[in-house]
Amino acid sequence: MIREWICAILLVSGALFMFVAALGVVRFPDLFTRMHTATKSASFGSVLMLCAVAVYFGNAWVIFETILVIFFIFLTTPVGAHMIGRVAYLLGTPLWEGTVIDELQDRYHIRKRVLESGPHDPATQAENKSKMDTT
């Protein structure tokens, strides 16, 4: 009985986390904020629902398989999100107008693929802008 209640609570809360993720993907103003909600909240919701499966069955093989899926999700979601965010930034996806700070601005040299520290370089800025215009 107590196991059923735990399983039900895990299922419904995982589904609610995923609903929050979908709502954020629809409502947020910017690609990067959308990506933040879609990766973190959705992976946590699916992990909660898989935990519900492990609690419901409770045998060793199912628990092992659930841990495997959770491991895959927590291993692959950050890598995929990092790749999408990186390529979206390099393609010049517009940021939200309320963005406070953009630390990579004019510091990534697209053709040389070098990230420079230090003050902003106007030459790099001009070259990046001409590169963006051609795409």
Partner 1 sequence: MILQELTLIKGAVLSAFFILIISLFLAFSRLVRGPVLPDRIVALDLIVSLAVGLIAGYTILTEQSIFLNTAVVLALIAFLGTVAFALYLERRWL
Residues in contact with partner 1 by CB under 8 A are: 4-5, 7-9, 11-12, 14-16, 18-19, 21-23, 25-26, 31, 34-35, 38-39, 42-43, 45-46, 49-50, 52-53, 56-57, 59, 61-62, 65-66, 68-69, 72-73, 76-77, 79-81, 83-84, 86-88, 90-91, 93, 110, 135
CB-based contact 24:56 (threshold 8 Å) = no
For residue 122, the cross-strand partners are none
Cβ closest to partner 1, residue 119 vs residue 135? 135
Choose between 40 and 121: whose C-beta lies nearer to partner 1.
40
Cβ burial, residue 97 (10 Å; 0-12/13-18/19+) = exposed
Q: Min. distance of Cβ 106 from partner 1 in angstroms?
A: 17
Contact 54, 70 (CB under 8 A): no
Residues 6+ apart with CB under 8 A from 25: 34, 37, 38
Q: Which of 11, 121 has the CB closer to partner 1?
A: 11
For tokens 């935990």, the residue is 51
Minimum CB distance to partner 1, residue 54 (Å): 9
In this complex, which beta carbon is closest to partner 1, that of residue 22 or of residue 121? 22
Min dist CB 107 to partner 1, Å, is 16
CA distances from 79 to 72, 83, 85 (A): 11, 6, 10
Helices 31-57, 2-27: inter-axial angle, 10-degree rounding = 170
Smallest distance, Å, CB 102 to partner 1? 17
